[in-house]
Amino acid sequence: MLAGANVVLPTGTVVGGQVIVDGTRITGTAPETARVIDVSTHWLVPGFVDIHNHGGGGASFTSGTVDEVLTGIRTHRLHGTTTLVASTVTGDMDFLAQRAGLLSELAEQGEIAGIHFEGPFISPCRKGAHSEALLRDPDPAAVRKLIDAARGRAKMVTLATELPGGIDSVRLLVEHGVIAAIGHTDATYEQTKTAIDAGATVATHLFNAMPTLGHRHPGPVAALLEDERITVELINDGTHLHPAALELAFHHAGADRVALITDAMDAAGFGDGRYWLGPLEVEVADGVARLVEGGSIAGSTLTLDRAFQRAVTVDRLPVESVVAALSANPARLLGMDDRIGSLEPGKDADLVLLDADFALKGVMRRGEWVVDPQLG
């Protein structure tokens, strides 16, 4: 039993609260033999859920071996991410299908929550750190190939829905229970609304890799922010977004429609240097990843504990709103909120312990300490 903390629950924060863990689950009643760990002055929040993550710890989810992928997963667990969706980047279709097979096995083993395909069905006008030579229109047959290769473990596909086949592909994804995400898009406001009406429910890293918000041509940003059916991804690393843009998104979408993500690449939790993001070389300097050729931002080196701390200390967002964006909202989006995303009896014992300054001190996943707080 963890006692004395500020416990963030779906109903609000309980000061001097407690969380009881029995085996792999949170329970409402403590066994008589329960060990009590005093976590006074600390914060207890649910384990973080990252729905957009390309790697970490020097390892890539797009190209690494099974052991390397596991290294990336474990790196993010050390930073509080107890549930993770592995994201790929644009590549040859046969190669992506092969990667889907490898990643689906890890999903079946419970190491990841599923697969996110970011590309190749994106706009060359907004390609960011994706190889233009490998981009293609979102033909439903090609989209179906990746879904089938994932063996029921595909969770999300990012599309430029204005491209030929885009709307039909959104409908296909919805039919197969896969999230259709609008991103790396050059769509107009009207085209974006059409995609939402067809069933798209996520904005891939809002503001990034899409037209800016304009007063005569509002573009996708306005459509995505205003529609209650959309969850907006935000990368809160201080590089991808100005604090005012973050505040704008939280204000207009509301805290229950934001998912804070990392969009992390290999260097997350590892360090500066040269890396590969798919077929493209990346230089990481001072924690910022950019393509060697062209200089585009190439994912991030963010971990979700840093995103949390920045959100509450720099951006001054309410702790409860940040917890929703890091845990409850992405869990609900994945259809996993019956098991994860909040500190409630019956759910997995996934939790993060933070000190009074919101620095990470402990991580528990399914009842076992990944990072032991060693509080005595």
Mind telling me the catalytic residues? Answer: 263
Q: Let me know: does 90 contact 119? Beta carbons within 8 Å.
A: yes
> How many CB atoms neighbour CB 259 within 10 A?
26
> How many CB atoms neighbour CB 92 within 10 A?
14
User: How many Å separate Cα 74 from the centre of its chain?
Assistant: 15
Q: Which region, left, alpha or beta, applies to residue 64 given φ > 0 means left and ψ of -120 to 50 means alpha?
A: beta
CB under 8 Å, gap of 24 or more: what pairs does 135-143 form?
A: 135/90, 136/93, 137/163, 137/164, 137/165, 137/166, 138/163, 138/164, 138/165, 138/166, 138/169, 139/164, 139/165, 139/169, 140/165, 140/168, 140/169, 140/172, 142/93, 143/169, 143/172, 143/173
Q: Locate 361 and state its tokens.
A: 């001190």
User: How many Å separate Cα 364 from the centre of its chain?
Assistant: 19
Half-sphere exposure of 39 toward its Cβ, with a 13 Å CA cutoff? 30
Q: Let me know: does 268 contact 302? Beta carbons within 8 Å.
A: yes
* CA dist., res. 170 & res. 180, Å (int): 6
Q: Locate 308 and state its tokens.
A: 């949390």
Start-to-end C-alpha separation, the chain:
13
* CA dist., res. 285 & res. 272, Å (int): 5
Counting beta carbons within 10 angstroms of the beta carbon of residue 40, is it exposed (0 to 12), middle (13 to 18) or buried (19 or more)?
exposed
Type and span of the H or E element at 106: helix 93-108
Question: Does residue 140 have a cis peptide bond before it, meaning omega lies within 30 degrees of 0?
Answer: no
User: How many Å separate Cα 52 from the centre of its chain?
Assistant: 4
